Amino acid sequence: MDYTRQKIKVTVIGCGRWGSFLAWYANQLGHKVTMYGRAGDITYEQLLMAHKNEYVTLPKSIELTNDLVRAVKSAEAVIVSVPSQAFRNVMGELRGKCDMTGKYLVTCMKGIEISTGKRLSEVALEFGLEDWQIAVWAGPGHVQEFTVGNPNCMLIDGYERTTVERIIEYFKSPLIRFYYGTDVVGTEIGAAAKNVMGIVAGVLDGMGLTTLKGALMARGSREVARLIQKLGGNPMSAYGLCHIGDYETTLFSQHSHNRMWGENYAKGKKYDQLAEGVHTARAMALLADKYGVDMPITNAVNTMILDKIPPRTVMEKLFDRTLKDDLV
């Protein structure tokens, strides 16, 4: 693939499923790519040794390093794909060790910080980045589908339109068609919240109640819209690619970690893959309480996990609520 108008130097921080794919993808577009991972981290060490994992095989032209300064020094765009709750630590290291002047920072995680309730772009701004430097990469898609050539549409958002346009120009291709975001608040909240809905979808699958996913989608998007509006965003963002547009990949796909986490939880099994919705449910429940937003689905997930209430009890109580009251 070679569809970009300008080749740049890209650094990817994070060597997991999405980090390795994003490095592979940027390389396919002709960019000069460096990947950063911590020494001793199993995902980094695997890539360093074999230049591949279960998702992608990385070309030798992609440099891997555990030296953050080296990784970032000449980069024009820094893509971060780490667990959301680790993002603050990454930003602290970037500020302490690296010069981010003139560089774009692209967040590719979908979560909300539990300790502060802040969106990830807000965390980045805390560490001295300017509005124009930040872009948010969101929307549906699974690595397993992209790597076999199945296309999808995704979303780039940011505080400045010129940044959104520039990042899309760098990373667009027939494999990923990008839409232009116009609501950072809605995009980040919607993208994070869809993982919570994914957990509920998985629980329903595990209980043999897949037919209730229709009600979940109707009610889930509505309560997320309420939160977005209360936080100053456009409630209609909940019905775009960042949230409801991502339901197919999150609520139904076998590749969805959040759906799989919920299904295994309902069956009393352990699921070891990262499911961001577990942490996001807690963060969103705190935001809902702080701003007085009615979010029954989010609160149900949070209560189910923290208070160890049986999934069937939680789901029965949740879906006994009157749909009409929830949708007004």
As annotated, the active-site residues are 194
Contacts for 53 with CB less than 8 Å, ≥ 6 apart: 20, 43, 46, 47
Instruction: Please say whether the beta carbons of 297 and 327 come within 8 A.
Output: no
Residue for token pair 């499923």:
17
The answer to whether residues 276 and 258 touch, using CB atoms and an 8 Å cutoff, is yes
Q: Give the type of residue at 139.
A: G
Task: State phi, psi for 298 to the nearest 5 degrees.
Answer: -60, -45
Angstrom CA distances, 324 to 10, 218, 237, 271, 297, stand at 49, 11, 22, 35, 15
Query: The tokens of 122 are what?
Result: 């807000």
Reported as type and span, the H/E element at residue 245 is none
